[in-house]
Structure 1
Amino acid sequence: MNNPTTSEAPLPSPMAPHAWASLDLAARRADSAAADFRHSSVAERCRLLELISFHLEAARGAIAASARDELGDGAASVAMEHDAALQQLRAFNAVLRRSHWLGAAIETAPPDQRVQNIALGPVAVLGTGHACAAPVYAAAAADVIAALAAGCPVVVRGSAAHPRTSALLGEAIAAAVRATGLPGGVYSLVADDTGSASALVTHPDIKAATYAGGRDEGLELMRRSLDRADPIPVLLDIASSNPVFILPHALNARAEHLGQQLLKQFNPGTAHSMFKPGIVVAIEGDGYIDLRETIIDGVLAMPPVALASAGARQGHADTVERLLREHRVEVLAEGAAEAGGGRRGARAVFVEAEASSLLTTPALADEHPGPSGLLLRCACPEELLAVAALLGRQLVAGLQMADGDTALAARLMPQLERMARHVNVNSFTSMPIYNGATAAQAIARFLRPVFYLDVPSSLLPAALQDANPLQLWRQVDGEMRH
């Protein structure tokens, strides 16, 4: 068993020695930087986020060109990700500026009891794994920015699908770190080598990890983290089917429009693949046939959808094969195959099943990666509610409603809150948008409280020594109320 206080970890068996040496160095550098970065001021971290924005913007053209060469991504999709990254940085910066309580001292009565939020330590950001397509800006993802805002050094696993683009993003962030005078180990980018995710999760210098991707890989990483001498939190965003519930009045009023908007999400340039709606739940009645026909026409006209990684392509192929094996499933339409037998593009597929099929075939509710989808036909509102009760945890749940759907929506909403982290109403834009509330919560995931009882003032951290306990608590309480 390794000593959790040292970084002398053995070479993990699946890794090549040179890959392990690079990863181990990054983790050790992050550990060396952790204490200084944890004690950095809010102003210093705000400055870091501002400089990251500056360097990312300066590299915009180079990143777009690299993404085009490596992934074939068009200018519009890369520009969308770039602007989303800048918006995230602005949101996290704003939270830090007005909410010093996230990383500084908070005090509660009585005066001899104090508590301070401190950074967890080095965080491994593992990206999306091989079963999901990694976004172009994965190396500057929200988890990366949130951890830096909290004062945690990060070791980011790059993407094998676009290593040069990842390197450009990594260099932009590293340049911002250097410009602030912070230790170099605050940000490191390591290659997506075989076994790298597992090696980071088990490295003794890593104190937390994040992963967004396939269920099996995510759960395996969590199991490995629990086998450590000092188990660490692994924050998982497991890929899911992201169901959309279309209620009767909305279906009757805008079936064709809803079908068209739904299929736009099959284009990886419009949303991260993990947040794409994979299941559509609707009640058979007025508008249902129009929705069904719109989906059929749209899928038949859909060209092959480019999926960057072999893992993402295989995940899509496995899902289609699984769906087509189910005797309760009817194929509505299949899109065009890639000309010349090419393997980069995935063929769009949409199938239909009765909602009652979930009772006997719960696997229908599994993740639908790539351009694949399932239309669930419900006989009545009670069956739609039963479907919602059967579905497990989801990243996103959507609700399409009109004025006459209010009563049914009120019954459905508690189920959506139970299952999903993000609930969208009358929108197919599923990617999370970071504002003050969501950014604050994202940062808080990388902090832990330390409680001080009867500790002499001379031994307290400077932030607690300088704070006026009652005044600080009143200020924080007032900020949170507003």
Structure 2
Amino acid sequence: MSGERDGDEAGALRANILFVLPDVLNARAEQIAAHVDSLLTNALLSPCERPGVVVMQDGDGARELMDGLQFSCASRPPLRLPLEEIVVRYVESVERLRSIPGVRLAAHGESVTAANEAAETLFQVDASAAVQHAWVLRGQYGPTLLVVSCADEVELSRLVASLVQVPAATIYGTPLDRPHALRLAQQLSHRCARISSRLLDSRTIAAGERLYDDLHRFTRGIGGIATS
């Protein structure tokens, strides 16, 4: 089909966890949804840049973010993979995810028309269920995105404490989120190989700007941590 996307086995892995903090979520949910969509459809990104999990706290912007992600997922064409064996592995990973109590299918992409295609899927789960199956937070195989909803920062902290050997994480926030971001970065520093931060201003998500100077100073002093 004309809108289909090509992918390879490495590109099918989504290993980046995006943490969307409360102020930026409530102020710029629609913009974040568009940004996540751009990351999911960029074939040039490495597995550690591709988002497989989005973590957010419940709030005014949470529903708007989910609406945007659902719309994008439902209209996205299938990903064409080079081998049918990779598609089989993807289908198995989706079924494994669906089998977890509390995991809900939120949206499904356009239907496949060939044996080597995989349809986009969007799942959602509460943090209380996700911590019981921490393997789902290490990334997703194939065109799958999992959104994890936390009731508050306490529940988010429990979720982060359950992480084991996470390849990459990206923190999104505004200056008002700074104290929260610093606490989160400190927790992640013991569990994540690479931490990035993104500043959201009134116009755009500036991928080349650091979230805050003090967050940069904190992460710069930790081995294996990078900010961008």
| Aligned 8 A contact 1:133 1:273 in 2 | no
Structure 2 counterpart of 1:279, from 50, 53, 56: 53
d(CA) in 2 for partners of 1:261 and 1:343?
A: 30
Structure 2 counterpart of 1:380, from 152, 159, 172: 152
Q: Deviations over 1:322-359 (max 9, x none)?
A: 111223111110001123xx022210001111101123
Secondary structure of the 1:420 match is coil
**Structure 1 residue 268, shift from structure 2 partner:** 5.4
Gaps of 5+ in 1: 1-71, 78-131, 136-212, 214-238, 430-440, 442-482
Q: Deviations over 1:111-144 (max 9, x none)?
A: xxxxxxxxxxxxxxxxxxxxx7246xxxxxxxxx
d(CA) in 1 for partners of 2:33 and 2:206?
A: 11
**Structure 1 residue 243, shift from structure 2 partner:** 1.1
Structure 2 counterpart of 1:416, from 188, 197, 207: 188
**Structure 1 residue 297, shift from structure 2 partner:** 0.6
**Structure 1 residue 246, shift from structure 2 partner:** 0.4
How many residue pairs get matched?
199
Secondary structure of the 1:394 match is coil
d(CA) in 1 for partners of 2:119 and 2:76?
A: 8
Structure 2 counterpart of 1:345, from 91, 104, 117: 117
TM-score norm. by structure 2 comes to 0.78
For 1:388-467, list aligned pairs within 5 A. Answer: 388-426=160-198
Change beyond 3 A, Cα 1:274–1:310: farther
Gaps of 5+ in 2: 199-204, 208-222, 224-228
Greater percentage in strand? 2
d(CA) in 1 for partners of 2:28 and 2:86?
A: 32
d(CA) in 1 for partners of 2:70 and 2:10?
A: 28
**Structure 1 residue 307, shift from structure 2 partner:** 2.2
Structure 2 counterpart of 1:308, from 67, 82, 94: 82
Runs of 4+ in 1 over 4 A off after TM superposition: none
| Aligned 8 A contact 1:305 1:346 in 2 | yes
Q: Which residue of 2 aligns with 1:329?
A: 103
Secondary structure of the 1:364 match is helix
| Aligned 8 A contact 1:274 1:369 in 2 | no
Q: Which residue of 2 aligns with 1:365?
A: 137
| Larger radius of gyration between Structure 1 and Structure 2 | 1
Structure 2 counterpart of 1:354, from 109, 121, 126: 126
TM-score norm. by structure 1 comes to 0.38
d(CA) in 1 for partners of 2:69 and 2:76?
A: 10
**Structure 1 residue 387, shift from structure 2 partner:** 1.1
Q: Aligned residues: percent identity? A: 25
**Structure 1 residue 370, shift from structure 2 partner:** 1.6
d(CA) in 2 for partners of 1:315 and 1:268?
A: 22
Secondary structure of the 1:343 match is coil
Q: Which residue of 2 aligns with 1:455?
A: none
Greater percentage in helix? 1
**Structure 1 residue 398, shift from structure 2 partner:** 0.7
One-letter code of the match for 2:130?
Answer: L
Q: Which residue of 2 aligns with 1:295?
A: 69
Q: Which residue of 1 aligns with 2:41?
A: 267
